[in-house]
Structure 1
């Protein structure tokens, strides 16, 4: 009897009562042959060989879908229809650190008439709450595979909102720092937030279309009509999340413009001071240049006089002080 690894979790549910776990590939084959409601959760990073055996040999899924489920490289979100099941690629959000890069985790889902198979590369904490609920009262697996699929997708979509809220809070702090004149690493953090918003939008658009298909009676053999409206609810959540991301993109552009405006204003202040200093020294340089020419005759004040040099220096100092006072009175300095 083949024994499944600890990272392969199988639940079976009847018409009433809580779900119960199954052990062994033979028990899985028997439950599948008997038409029991199944949820098979596979961690492909823990045991790729067993995951391939379950997907290819037990369920006999299409090789291209098995390849997508087993590869660690991310695939774009999509929904593919096959003869007796649909294959979904969805992206869950990982833990988000302020000003860090958004980490996503691909989740591949198979929906059949009597089963749901979920595949992910590494642990996925978002599914643990659903699994515990199934073990306690059998729901949502007991109602049908489409309800379990709804619970999984709803949980994954709900994780987007806390991440967006954290990004908005981080953006508010960046705007405050920009107005306060803090410049160290500010531009890098603003651009990272903007990149995160763009990445989330690229994920949400195809996932929104995916859920739009599930909310329509496009798969009547797999999704009962009474379940369509619940997928529509998830679709509405994604639309609202997309609006929030668009607003976040606009806010990042605003924060970037605020930062650039502050930098430009500071540069203008510096240039104003340097221009005033250069303007003050311009006539002084002219006087010193004329008086320093190598002509001994017809130069006033005369070189030989004892008061000539102090008189020129005094004139230059008075002229410089006068120009400085004039600039300060006009508010240019």
Structure 2
């Protein structure tokens, strides 16, 4: 699980617009993937030099530049200066603790989203930042593109007969957001399988390990809700056609994404309630198990109370106690004790306490 705050204190005392990477440090070199296309023309390139992207600032083709890695501050300084991106926006791109949002400027819009996927059975929430300009989209992500959710979109772009090859920035913006939202359903399916597995386990097994897993799942649901809920505001802004860069004819596609987003949010809230129910079930099961143990110990102790009394009485060291010289006293005492124990067991069974 990612933390809710990841090194934000490092910005303390710095002036606004200072470029500081806040997030997980991987030590990997920043990779840049470029797709430049128009109708039947496609140029695809991988590079490590930001200078290779400069020529795509003013072009008639549609260009998607995907930057993987946020740790090279010098690279981001050059990128921001060349493409005219405000220093505060560049600061937000490097801060992976951002809330999903959309901001509109004169020549571009800035969008922050959360890409969610499972890696080695662990939930990963990765920040995706997008700069959408005229005929150009630059996306920024924390990890390598090998782990993102855009591979199907790249395949569609590589297809010369695909619709996306004939569209502009609005449709590519929609396609990127739609890829992220569609993958939410994949994550939700896996979470649902986990919840169902925990429900079955709680019926037969109550352990601290199971409690920890359910509690971690609850934290994941909270973090997932935090990452997805603001998406409604972003897509609602795009579907209303209030953003100049986005073509009006694309608004109907954003309405479809909005419906999917609402469905995802409703499902997350349902799962949150189910996980809360799992915790209640665990506590109830643990309480019932403890009650069974205490009931057994109480019955066991209750049976031995009169036996301990009898043994205590005849264990006193007086010289002139009755029955001490009686020949069958020992056997009679055992018969009395066994009779008392048997009677109490029969009584407990009749009351269904056993």
CA distance in 2, matches of 1:30, 1:119: 19
Aligned match of 2:138 in 117, 120, 126? 117
The equivalent residue for 1:189 is 213
Q: What is the RMSD of the two structures over their aligned residues, measured on CA atoms?
A: 2.5
Q: Give CA-to-partner distance per residue, 1:74-97, whole Å, 9 cap, x none.
A: 322111222211111111013245
SS at 1:107 equivalent: strand
The equivalent residue for 1:163 is 187
Q: Say if 1:141 and 1:148, in contact at 8 Å, map to a contact too.
A: no
The equivalent residue for 1:250 is 273
The equivalent residue for 1:263 is 286
CA distance in 2, matches of 1:52, 1:127: 26
Runs (5+) with no aligned partner, structure 2: 1-28
If the length of structure 1 is used for normalisation, what is the TM-score?
Answer: 0.86
Q: Give CA-to-partner distance per residue, 1:92-111, whole Å, 9 cap, x none.
A: 0132455x4x1111111011
Structure 2 matches for 1:112-151, cutoff 5 A? 112-124=133-145, 125-137=148-160, 139-140=163-164, 142-151=166-175
CA distance in 2, matches of 1:68, 1:43: 16
**Considering only CA atoms, is the larger Rg found in Structure 1 or Structure 2?**
1
Q: Say if 1:109 and 1:116, in contact at 8 Å, map to a contact too.
A: yes
| Change over 3 Å in CA distance of 1:173–1:28 after alignment to 2 | closer
Q: Give CA-to-partner distance per residue, 1:139-180, whole Å, 9 cap, x none.
A: 525411111010000001111111111111111111111112
The equivalent residue for 1:280 is 303
CA distance in 2, matches of 1:300, 1:10: 105
Q: Say if 1:20 and 1:135, in contact at 8 Å, map to a contact too.
A: no
- State the Cα distance separating 1:331 from its structure 2 match: 2.6
The equivalent residue for 2:17 is none
Aligned match of 2:97 in 74, 77, 91? 74
If the length of structure 2 is used for normalisation, what is the TM-score?
Answer: 0.82
Bigger shift: 255-264 or 186-195? 255-264
SS at 1:76 equivalent: coil
Aligned match of 1:304 in 318, 325, 335? 325
- Give aligned pairs, total: 321
The equivalent residue for 1:65 is 89
CA distance in 2, matches of 1:321, 1:200: 59
